[in-house]
Amino acid sequence: MTSAFAVRDIDLPTDRLRTALRCHGWTWTSTGACVGLFGGVIAPLVGLALTALAWFIGDWHGFHIGRDGEVLLFLTIPLLIFGAHCLDLLDKETERASGHSCLASETNLQAEEGEGDSNG
């Protein structure tokens, strides 16, 4: 037996993020959240690659890739903390402006479009 669940498009996290960015634009908090979280994911991967490469080839023509890899590994936690802090600030801004934001109007507009599709 299968069961079906109806999920509105606005309920998906990526659509909420797109709607929020469309309404508010790229502010310093949204930019900081993206840089912090993506940097916190990319930095350890690149740091591990550089560190492993330094183990095999050592210092290469004066480039200290082992040191650079270690710096990226140490930057992981501060980048993630910065991204989480910016996300908290972005949530507080959204809660404060929820009464008169375009986010609420777009939610209502998409809900009306969904009702129109199901009726006819």
Which residues lie below 8 Å from residue 84, measured CB to CB, with a gap of 6+?
36, 37
Identify the pLDDT of residue 88: 87
CB atoms within 10 A of CB 75: 16
Contact of 91 with 33, CB cutoff 8 Å: no
Q: pLDDT by residue for the chain (120 residues), tens digit each?
A: 555 555 555 454 556 556 667 776 788 888 888 899 999 999 999 999 999 998 888 777 777 888 899 999 999 999 999 999 988 888 888 777 776 555 555 555 555 565 555 554
| Dist. CA 104–CA 42, nearest whole Å | 34
The reported pTM is 0.63
